[in-house]
C-alpha cells in the first residue's frame, strides 16, 4: 500500500514537471515569435484552466482500474515505477545529451524536449503497445472472457429479477382489484345512486359519500378509493346513457387520506 501511495506521489510530481516543461517551451516559442510578456501572461490564465481540467481527467481515468490477471506486466510495481518516472528519465536523458552546451537556454530546452519526447513515447506509444501485447496473452484472454461472461450473467440475473418483481406487483394489483370489485360492488352502487341526488338531498348525499370514501381508505388506501370511484362512475354512466355524469365523488372525498380534488385550472 505504501509503494502504491509513493507511486501516486511520484506520478503527480512527474505531471507537474512535464507541464512546467511544456510551459517553458511554449513561452520560449512565443517570445521568439515576438510576442510581449503581457500577452503571454494573459494567455497563461486560460491555459492554466485547461491544463487543470486535463490533469484532473487524466488522474481520474488513470491506470488504477486495471485488472492484474488481464494486465500481468503493466500492473507490476516495476512497470508502474518506470511509467511514472518517464518524465524524469527523459529529463535525465536531456541533461546527458546537452552536456557541454554553451548557453543555459539551450540546455533548458534540451532538458524539456527530452522530458516531453520520452513521456510521449512511454505514455502514449509504448504503454499502448504493451497493453495490446497483454490482451493477446492466453491467460489475459481467458480471464477477460470469464469476466465478461460473469458480468453478462449478472446483468441477465438482475433483469430477470426486475421482471419477476414487476410481474409480482402487477399480479398483486390485479388480485387486489378483483377483490375490491367483489367487496365494493354494493358501495359503488350506493355512490352511483348518490350522484343522482337532487338539491334538497345533496348535503346528505355528500355526507354518505364521505363515509363510504373513509371506509374505502381504511380498506385499501388511495388505490382502493380510486377503484371504487371508477366503479361508481362506470355504473352511473351505464344508467345514464347519452347523459353527462358529473364527478361529485372526487370533490366530496377531498381531504380523505391522500385523496385530493382535481384542479379546476
Evaluate whether 253 touches 209 at the Cβ level (below 8 Å).
yes
Please state, in angstroms and rounded to a whole number, the distance separating the CA atoms of residues 62 and 106.
33
- Structural domain spans, the chain: 2-136, 184-252
The span from the CA of 102 to the CA of 13, in Å, is 29
Task: Specify the pLDDT at position 55.
Answer: 55
Using an 8 Å Cβ cutoff, are 59 and 16 in contact?
no
Q: Note the pLDDT of residue 35.
A: 58
Residue 36 predicted with pLDDT over 70: no
pLDDT > 70? residue 71: yes
Q: Which residues contact 245 (CB under 8 A, 6 or more apart)?
A: 195, 233, 236, 237
Reply yes or no on whether the pLDDT at 128 is more than 90. no
Strand, coil or helix: 44:
helix
Instruction: For the chain, give the mean pLDDT.
Output: 80
Residues 68-89, mean pLDDT to the nearest whole number: 84
- Regarding pTM above 0.75, the answer is no
| Residue 58: per-residue pLDDT | 56
Cell of residue 180, nine digits: 375490491
- C-alpha–C-alpha distance, residues 6 and 182, integer Å: 72
Q: Sign of the C-alpha dihedral, residues 82, 1, 63, 150?
A: positive
Distance in angstroms (rounded) separating the CA atoms of residues 219 and 139: 62
Least confident among 26-30, 35-39, 96-100: 35-39
At 62 the pLDDT is: 52
Nearest CA to 7 out of 74, 81, 76 is that of 81
The CA distances from residue 95 to 13, 107, 111, in Å, are: 19, 7, 6
Q: CB of 188 within 8 A of CB of 228?
A: yes
Maximum Cα–Cα distance across the chain: 113
Instruction: Work out the number of other CB atoms within 10 angstroms of the CB of residue 127.
Output: 17
Residue 37: count other Cβ atoms within 10 Å of its Cβ: 10
Weakest-pLDDT range from 21-25, 90-94, 104-108, 116-120 = 21-25
Kindly tell me if the per-residue pLDDT of 121 is higher than 60. Answer: yes
State residue 265's pLDDT score: 45
Alpha carbon distances (Å) from 113 to 34, 96, 97, 219, 253: 21, 12, 11, 80, 80
Distance CA 70, CA 265 (A): 62
Amino acid at each position: 500500500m505504501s509503494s502504491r501511495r509513493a507511486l501516486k506521489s511520484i506520478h503527480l510530481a512527474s505531471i507537474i514537471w512535464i507541464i512546467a516543461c511544456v510551459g517553458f517551451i511554449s513561452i520560449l516559442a512565443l517570445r521568439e515569435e515576438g510576442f510581449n510578456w503581457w500577452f503571454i501572461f494573459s494567455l497563461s490564465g486560460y491555459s492554466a484552466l485547461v491544463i487543470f481540467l486535463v490533469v484532473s481527467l487524466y488522474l481520474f481515468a488513470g491506470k488504477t482500474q486495471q485488472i492484474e490477471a488481464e494486465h500481468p506486466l503493466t500492473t507490476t510495481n516495476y512497470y508502474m515505477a518506470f511509467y511514472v518516472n518517464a518524465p524524469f528519465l527523459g529529463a535525465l536523458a536531456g541533461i546527458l545529451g546537452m552536456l557541454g552546451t554553451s548557453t543555459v537556454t539551450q540546455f533548458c530546452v534540451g532538458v524539456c524536449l527530452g522530458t516531453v519526447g520520452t513521456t510521449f513515447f512511454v505514455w502514449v506509444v509504448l504503454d499502448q503497445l504493451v497493453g495490446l501485447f497483454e490482451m493477446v496473452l492466453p491467460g489475459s484472454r481467458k480471464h477477460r472472457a470469464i469476466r465478461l461472461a460473469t458480468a453478462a450473467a449478472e446483468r441477465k440475473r438482475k433483469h430477470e429479477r426486475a421482471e419477476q418483481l414487476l410481474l409480482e406487483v402487477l399480479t398483486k394489483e390485479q388480485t387486489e382489484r378483483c377483490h375490491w370489485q367483489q367487496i365494493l360492488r354494493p358501495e359503488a352502487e350506493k355512490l352511483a345512486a348518490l350522484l343522482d341526488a337532487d338539491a334538497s338531498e345533496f348535503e346528505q348525499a355528500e355526507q354518505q359519500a364521505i363515509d363510504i370514501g373513509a371506509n374505502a381508505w381504511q380498506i385499501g388506501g388511495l388505490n382502493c378509493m380510486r377503484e371504487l370511484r371508477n366503479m361508481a362512475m362506470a355504473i352511473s354512466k351505464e344508467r345514464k346513457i347519452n347523459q353527462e355524469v358529473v364527478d361529485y365523488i372526487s370533490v366530496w372525498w377531498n381531504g380523505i387520506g391522500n385523496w385530493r380534488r382535481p384542479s379546476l385550472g
